[in-house]
Amino acid sequence: MFDLIVSGATLTDGRRGMDIAVLDGKIAAVEPGITAPATRRIDAAGHLVSPPFVDCHFHMDATLSLGMPRMNQSGTLLEGIALWGELKPQLTHDGLVERALRYCDLAVSQGLLAIRSHVDISDPRLLTVEAMLDVRERVKPYLDLQLVAFPQDGYFRSDGAIAALTRALDMGVDVVGGIPHFERTMADGAASVAALCRIAAERGLPVDMHCDESDDPLSRHVETLAAETVRHGLQGRVAGSHLTSMHSMDTYYVSKLIPLMHEADLQVIANPLINITLQGRHDGYPKRRGQTRVPELMAAGLNVAFGHDCVMDPWYSLGSGDMLEVASMGLHVGQMTSRDGIRACFDAVTVNAARAMGLTEYGIAPGHRADMVILQATDPIEAIRLRATRLAVVRGGTVISETPARRSALSLPGRPATVDPAEYAPKSD
Ligand code: FE2
């Protein structure tokens, strides 16, 4: 007797007609034709059943603060940072928690069940850290929230950041952050990378830095990040977030850099929605796209994931917690329109992001926690194309969110019709 059977599923690897049996919160079997009884049975009816979406780069402390205390008029990164600085003195514990929990509700409804959030530690009160630790505990039953100690105003550049980062880690923040391109000099930036990797090695923690979020082709902190990763034996546990300067770098230099990143097994995290809007702001025409070299890094064997970064905050007034929107923007900006390219972008918001976060037991396989999303789509490509409805979201074998299928009843002259967007398949694949 199983607790749940999701039957007739199409999996992300293309297997069709699969039944997923769940017992005691874990996946017990994935095979066709499971006839054993179950407390609950959901007919997936050929729909895609995916592991949950994962957002490996977000700012939970700033989310849903759009308009507080005013809008970002220029839309630039620097006005966003200044605006966040204006907002910080007005933040309260309860306000931070309330906005974060509301965002997590939205995330769960979209099948997004794991988030890595950077938390600004620049304010010595560490109000944001206390609030996000509170949120991490409250959402634990249904969402994996990892926190990064993020010195938004610079590790060396901001008074008190060195001590605040240490205190944040002592309080239980999970990951060491940084922002080397925002330090006063390139030398300070490189020194911050070295210092922060040393702290991570000493504490046995992962690293995730905002790194080279710049259009300056000579912003090369990713090189130092890779070298320090190898020096401290942190391979696979260090993420470079944004890496937008790579878009503008000399290609010959990149031909040396990518193997160095590969040697360090650096986790690459691009944030397509944010960087397509923030980068290239100083350009005339042509304007640079400001996304790191996603297809080239994937082809070189690096793990590349996409993050949402921001939703309705000082830096980005849009966003909806929908990782399919993130994947769609990533593939457009990276021109990854081949069938394999689109599938790779689905991976960038699921399995690759889970790997970047170091999640274990991720994926629809026996023995793993029974987390999954049933989508109104037949495959990952269609899921991205349609921003497919998340019909059901399952966490630990329990259905925690359900959304009706999207269907339209048309009343056209001489042509009554029903439109299910998932019924428009390509003629071949
Ligand atoms: Fe960020």
pLDDT in the model for residue 75: 86
What is the mean predicted confidence (pLDDT) over 268-283? 95
At position 302, the amino acid (one-letter code) is: L
Residue 385: count other Cβ atoms within 10 Å of its Cβ.
17
- Alpha carbon distance 167, 165 (integer Å): 5
Distance 117 CA to ligand 1 centre (A): 9
- Omega before 141 within 30 of 0, i.e. cis: no
Secondary structure (3-state) at 309: strand
CA of 66 to the centre of ligand 1 (A): 16
Burial of 2 (0-12, 13-18, 19+ CB in 10 A): buried
Q: What is the DSSP string of 388-400?
A: --EEEEEETTEEE
Q: Are β-strands 112-120 and 53-58 bridged in parallel, bridged antiparallel, or unpaired?
A: parallel
pLDDT band at 22 (very low <50, low <70, confident <90, very high): very high
Statement: residue 253 has pLDDT above 80: yes
429 has pLDDT over 80 = no
CB 251 within 8 A of CB 278: no
Q: How confident is the model at residue 86 (pLDDT cuts 50, 70, 90)?
A: very high
Cβ atoms < 10 Å from Cβ of 130: 16
- The length of the chain is 429
- Please give the share of the chain, as a percent, with pLDDT higher than 90: 94
The token pair that represents 344 in the structure block: 């790779």
The pLDDT, as a whole number, for residue 37 is: 97
Angle at 140 between CA 323 and CA 48, to 5 degrees: 35
Name the band, by pLDDT with cuts 50, 70 and 90, for residue 401. Answer: very high
DSSP assignment string, 225-259: HHHHHHHTT-TTSEEEEE-THHHHS-HHHHHHHHH
Q: Is 96 helix (H, G, I), strand (E, B) or coil?
A: helix
Q: Which of 43-47, 169-173, 290-294, 422-426 has the lowest mean pLDDT?
A: 422-426
Residue type, 428: S
Mean pLDDT of 367-373: 98
421 pLDDT more than 90: no
Tell me the pLDDT tens digit for each residue of 288-308: 998 999 999 999 999 999 999
Q: Is the pTM of this model over 0.75?
A: yes
Nearest to 64 by CA among 114, 113, 111, 117: 117
Q: Which two tokens stand for residue 16?
A: 């069709």
Q: Please provide the average confidence, as pLDDT, over all residues in the chain.
A: 96
Q: How far is the CA of 378 from the centre of ligand 1 (A)?
A: 32
Report d(CA 81, CA 25) in Å as an integer. 42
Do 359 and 350 meet the contact criterion of CB atoms below 8 Å apart? no
For residue 424, name the pLDDT band (cuts at 50, 70, 90).
confident
Whole-angstrom distance, CA of residue 53 vs CA of residue 395:
12
pLDDT of residue 422: 79
Cα–Cα dist 313/407, whole Å: 32
Q: Is 13 in contact with 379 (CB distance < 8 Å)? A: no
CA of 212 to the centre of ligand 1 (A): 11
DSSP 164: H
Arithmetic mean of pLDDT, 365-371? 98
Is the pLDDT confidence value at 74 over 80? yes
CA–centroid distance, residue 18 to ligand 1 (Å): 38
Query: What distance in angstroms lies between residue 11's CA and the mean position of ligand 1's atoms?
Result: 31
Alpha helices in 232-374 (DSSP H): 245-248, 251-263, 272-278, 294-299, 323-333, 339-348, 351-357
38/390 Cα distance (integer angstroms) = 23
Is the pLDDT score of 229 beyond 90? yes
The rounded distance, in Å, linking the Cα atoms of 255 and 276 is 24
pLDDT band at 427 (very low <50, low <70, confident <90, very high): confident
What span, in angstroms and rounded, lies between the C-alpha atoms of 108 and 139?
10
147-172 mean pLDDT: 97
Contacts of 365 (CB under 8 A, 6+ apart): 27, 30
Q: What is the mean pLDDT of residues 34-41?
A: 97
Per DSSP, 313 falls in state: B
Query: pLDDT tens, 52-71?
Result: 999 999 999 999 999 998 99
pLDDT at 51 over 80: yes
The alpha carbon of 270 and the centre of ligand 1 are apart by a number of angstroms equal to 10
The yes-or-no verdict on residue 162 having pLDDT over 90 is yes
What pLDDT does 423 receive? 80
* 213 in active site: yes
Closest CA to 328 of 309, 308, 310: 308
338, HSE (Cβ side, Cα atoms, 13 Å): 4
Q: What is the mean pLDDT of residues 93-120?
A: 98
Tally Cβ neighbours within 10 Å of residue 46.
14
DSSP state at residue 316: B
Asked if residues 384 and 331 have their Cβ atoms less than 8 Å apart, the reply is yes
Distance 349 CA to ligand 1 centre (A): 16
**22 CA → ligand 1 middle, Å:** 36
Q: How far is CA 374 from CA 119, 173, 326, 387, in A?
A: 31, 32, 19, 13
Catalytic residue of the set 213, 228, 325, 382: 213
Q: Domains in the chain, ordered, with CATH?
A: 2-51+363-424 (2.30.40.10), 53-357 (3.20.20.140)
